[in-house]
């Protein structure tokens, strides 16, 4: 083994010894009913909240899109990877979210890197909720701006940070719309008021709210009755409720032109696949015209919470959330892993989330519900949880 390989092996050994070694499991089917190592599994950890990733119309649109425009973009958007179908999707996304324009990115991670690094100089300050997604933190690191974190959902903590910063400095206030590991929603109205008072632009990453919350599925802002203009920078992803892949930023014409000029994760990467773009247009149609999917999902969320409270299972705490993300707080990471393994034995797939993704002592099962689940699927989850919790409690 050469020196390079030895150093890597040492690092991997260390990762193993902390118990944080990450494992992938290969599935052999898509959707909530899948297979792992030949065993049937019912999935409760996907972000495909409306079950659109396998919807026949979305799949057909992707095939048709591939036949017409090709599978891959072939180049970046600024070379020759930009097609009219991208313009069509951008216009639809802008209209849906109530903004002047939208810009596609090939992932939410890149969108967040792109926005923050394009807007913030090294001398700037980015003020984050402590539970913001890793991509928002990494975007801040890429920009070189100073990273500030306020206590989760604490406006007084955010206010204290803002009050210390010079009003003339470049500042940006950033929050998830729905927190990805907790499932709770930011109070966007309160954040917007804070942003207005301190004359700071507000950026909301609504990756987990779009498609799921609000009468028309337009996300956390629609659910909370917040006007789009209150949030000048909105990020949405396409790989969750929309069931495809990629992301977009919605905002003013000036914001979008700025990103096209300066967002390196937009400029220096292959354009979003045109086939995926076609699929996303089809899934957006479904999101906008079939509210019954959201209604079914929210019914399942309410039923899950109600029945789990009645069961009062030992060793788990249902966290407060009205979204499809319904985390079960366990605390100890080994216990979280053990419960996840018990569920797997019962044919239910729900991965444990551990540090560093969540703070130490807050390991959990991140249960996610989908409109693709049936009442019977939910029965199976509740029964597997009941067996697992009782078996693991002395
Ligand atoms: N923002 C949030 C809040 C997320 O949860 C995620 C993905 N888990 C992303 C951004 C990144 O999106 P993508 O998977 O499209 O890169």
φ/ψ region of 269 (left if φ > 0, alpha if ψ in -120 to 50, else beta) reads: beta
Burial of 167 (0-12, 13-18, 19+ CB in 10 A): exposed
Q: What are phi and psi of 325, to 5 degrees?
A: -85, 110
Domain ranges in the chain are 21-50+290-392, 56-289
Atom of ligand 1 nearest to the CA of 246: 15
The whole-number pLDDT of residue 260 equals 98
Q: What is the mean pLDDT of residues 46-65?
A: 97
Q: Is 212 in the pocket of ligand 1 (CB under 6 A)?
A: no
Of the residues 180, 321, 340, 370, only one is catalytic, namely 180
Q: How many DSSP H helices and E strands does the chain contain? A: 14, 14
Q: What is the mean pLDDT of residues 249-277?
A: 98
Q: What is the mean pLDDT of residues 149-153?
A: 97
3.90.78.10, 3.40.50.720, 3.30.420.10, 3.90.1150.10: CATH of 21-50+290-392 = 3.90.1150.10
What span, in angstroms and rounded, lies between the C-alpha atoms of 190 and 156?
11
ipTM of the complex: 0.99
Q: Among 46, 109, 139, which is best to mutate for testing ligand 1, by the most ligand atoms less than 8 A from CB?
A: 109
Q: Among 46, 135, 266, which is best to mutate for testing ligand 1, by the most ligand atoms less than 8 A from CB?
A: 135
Q: Find, among 223, 147, 159, the residue nearest to 193 by Cα.
A: 159
Average pLDDT of the chain is: 96
- The CATH-assigned architecture of domain 56-289 is 3-Layer(aba) Sandwich (3.40)
Spatial strand order of the sheet with 317-318 comes to: 317-318, 325-331, 363-368, 352-353
Q: Is 369 in the pocket of ligand 1 (CB under 6 A)?
A: no
Q: Categorize the per-residue pLDDT at 393 as very low, low, confident or very high, splitting at 50, 70 and 90.
A: confident
Common-topology check for domains 21-50+290-392 and 56-289: no
Q: What is the mean pLDDT of residues 185-210?
A: 97
Predicted structure pTM score = 0.96
Q: Please check the confidence at residue 29 and state whether its pLDDT lies above 80.
A: no
Q: Are 177 and 220 a contacting pair, CB within 8 Å?
A: yes
Q: Is 109 in the pocket of ligand 1 (CB under 6 A)?
A: yes
Q: Is 237 in the pocket of ligand 1 (CB under 6 A)?
A: yes
């Amino acid at each position: 083994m050469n020196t390079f390989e030895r150093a890597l092996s040492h690092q991997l050994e260390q990762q193993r010894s902390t118990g944080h070694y990450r494992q992938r499991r290969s599935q052999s089917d898509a959707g909530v009913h899948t297979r792992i190592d030949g065993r049937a599994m019912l999935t409760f950890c996907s972000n495909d909240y409306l079950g659109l990733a396998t919807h026949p119309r979305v799949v057909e649109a992707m095939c048709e899109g591939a036949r017409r425009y090709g599978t891959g973009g072939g180049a970046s958007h600024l070379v020759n990877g930009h097609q009219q179908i991208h313009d069509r999707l951008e216009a639809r996304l802008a209209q849906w979210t109530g903004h002047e324009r939208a810009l596609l990115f090939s992932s939410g991670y890149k969108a967040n890197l792109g926005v923050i690094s394009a807007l913030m100089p090294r001398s700037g300050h980015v003020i984050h909720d402590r539970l913001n997604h890793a991509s928002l933190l990494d975007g801040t690191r890429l920009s070189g701006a100073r990273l500030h974190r306020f206590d989760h959902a604490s406006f007084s903590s955010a206010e204290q940070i803002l009050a210390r910063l010079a009003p003339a400095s470049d500042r940006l206030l950033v929050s998830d719309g729905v927190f990805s590991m907790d499932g709770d929603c930011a109070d966007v109205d309160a954040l917007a008021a804070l942003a207005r008072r301190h004359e700071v632009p507000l950026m909301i990453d609504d990756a987990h709210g779009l498609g799921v919350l609000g009468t028309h599925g337009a996300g956390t802002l629609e659910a909370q009755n917040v006007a789009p203009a209150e949030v000048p920078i909105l990020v949405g992803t396409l790989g969750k409720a929309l069931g495809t892949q990629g992301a977009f930023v919605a905002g003013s014409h000036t914001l979008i032109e700025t990103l096209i000029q300066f967002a390196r994760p937009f400029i220096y990467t292959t354009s979003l696949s045109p086939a995926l773009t076609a699929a996303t247009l089809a899934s957006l149609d479904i999101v906008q015209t079939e509210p019954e999917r959201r209604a079914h999902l929210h019914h399942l969320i309410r039923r899950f919470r109600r029945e789990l409270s009645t069961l009062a299972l030992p060793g788990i705490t249902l966290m407060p959330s009205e979204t499809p993300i319904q985390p079960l707080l366990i605390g100890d990471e080994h216990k979280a892993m053990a419960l996840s393994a018990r569920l797997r034995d019962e044919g239910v797939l729900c991965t444990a989330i551990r540090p560093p993704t969540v703070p130490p002592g807050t390991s959990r099962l991140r249960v996610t519900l989908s409109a693709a689940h049936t009442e019977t699927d939910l029965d199976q989850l509740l029964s597997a949880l009941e067996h697992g919790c009782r078996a693991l409690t002395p």
